[in-house]
Amino acid sequence: MQSHRRVLLLNASYEALNIVSAPKALALVWRRVAEVLENDPGETIRSLRYTFQVPSVIRLTHYVDVRSRQNRTTSRLRILVRDKYRCQYCGKKGTAFDLTLDHIMPKSKGGRTTAENLVAACMPCNNRKADRTPDEARMPLLANPAALYFGLRQAAFHHAAEERPEWKKYLFLEDAYLERTA
Ligand SMILES: [Zn+2]
């Protein structure tokens, strides 16, 4: 079974949760953990005996509270994309090679390695801030951490949806849902 197509995974509440591989999505549907909302037109996966239609959007049959788990997602690239490759202290544009990740609340002061406590920072700003909070260093952030965390998920989903128009209605629905509950 091989397919590198991606599948949008929604919670039972229709909130976008993740982007998973087609084989993983099929396994979830097979185990009845998830149901298919949209199929990927023309995409199939063959096993020895069967041909499966590849889903495009699936939805968990039972609500899963993943908020605490998602907070631990700290992929460097996703944070750089979220921050649009800009140092979040001075605003200077950088690349994946010269930008660092800075702990907003330093680890030495109990700051955790979570997406909302990490920002893109250029080397000079990271060195200058050192082991201090933004307040102590008098280096205010360009965006507040809650906005940064919200942006992290949105950036990833919207980037993926550029190639998958059938995902958009679910992602817009998520925007509306989050605005209502914000
Ligand atoms: Zn900077």
* Residues whose CB falls within 8 Å of the CB of residue 141, separated by 6 or more in sequence, listed in order: 88, 89, 104, 119, 134, 148
CA of 34 to the centre of ligand 1 (A): 44
Cα dist from 28 to 9, 58, 94, whole Å: 10, 9, 39
Ligand 1 center to 154 CA (angstroms): 24
- For the chain, the domain total comes to 2
SS3 (DSSP) at 42: strand
Does residue 152 fall inside a structural domain?
no
Tell the burial category of 23 from Cβ atoms under 10 Å away from its Cβ (0-12, 13-18, 19+): middle
Same domain, 162 and 176: yes
Q: What is the CA(4)–ligand 1 centre distance, in A?
A: 37
38 is a domain residue: yes
Tell whether 53 and 15 lie within a shared domain.
Answer: yes
Domain that holds residue 131: 72-137
CA of 162 from ligand 1 middle (Å) equals 30
- Calpha distance 22→31 (Å, rounded): 14
Q: What is the pTM of this model?
A: 0.53
Q: Which strand ranges, in their side-by-side order, compose the sheet holding 51-60? A: 16-21, 6-10, 51-60, 34-46
The CA 87 to ligand 1 mean position distance, Å, reads 5
- pLDDT tens string for the chain (182 positions)? 456 789 999 989 888 888 899 999 999 999 999 999 999 988 888 888 888 899 999 999 998 876 555 545 567 888 888 888 999 999 999 998 899 999 998 989 888 888 888 899 999 999 999 999 998 999 999 877 666 666 666 777 777 787 888 888 887 654 444 455 44
Q: Which helix (H) or strand (E) holds 120?
A: strand 118-122
CA of 132 to the centre of ligand 1 (A): 15
Q: Are residues 87 and 59 in the same domain?
A: no
Query: Do 81 and 34 share a structural domain?
Result: no
